[in-house]
Amino acid sequence: MQRVEVDGVRVSYRRAGDTKAPAILLLHRSQLRRPCSANSFRAERKYEYTFDQLALTVDAFVKALKLNRYAIYVFDCGPPTGFRLAMAHPDRVTAIITQNGNAYEEGLGDAWGPIRKDWAS
């Protein structure tokens, strides 16, 4: 287990595979909720567990690891965070792989407003 300090919190993560191969960022429940058995986020400050804040933290995390292009695998609570990351940096996200992800209205946020209009028509 490796750790990096970003956005005022300590993020624990694991790396696997060839570092020269395309990166896949796994965003799933255990990394994106209040402290859990994996202790992914140990906040010394009062951390606000919202999808917006989690997306900012994950963005700081990928910058710290110098990941300039990556696919995202989103599972369970990961899609609202991963979608925000993709909307903020579409040039960095090479693919979105999803499994059992929630994409409910509240999870999508205001950034999806223009796209919702397209869906409606």
Give the pLDDT score at 44. 55
Q: How many domains, in total, are found in the chain? A: 1
Give the pLDDT score at 78. 85
Enclosing H/E stretch for 96? strand 93-99
Judged on CB neighbours under 10 Å (0-12, 13-18, 19+), 110 is: exposed
Give the pLDDT score at 45. 62
| pLDDT, tens digit, 9 for 90 and up, residues 13-46 | 889 999 889 999 998 755 444 444 344 444 556 7
Nearest Cα residue to 60 out of 6, 1, 2: 6
Q: Has residue 103 got a pLDDT over 90?
A: no
What is the C-alpha end-to-end distance of the chain, expressed in Å?
A: 47
Give the pLDDT score at 37. 37
Structural domain that includes position 9: 2-120
* Token pair belonging to 42: 């140990």
Q: Three-class SS of residue 70?
A: strand
CATH number at residue 80: 3.40.50.1820
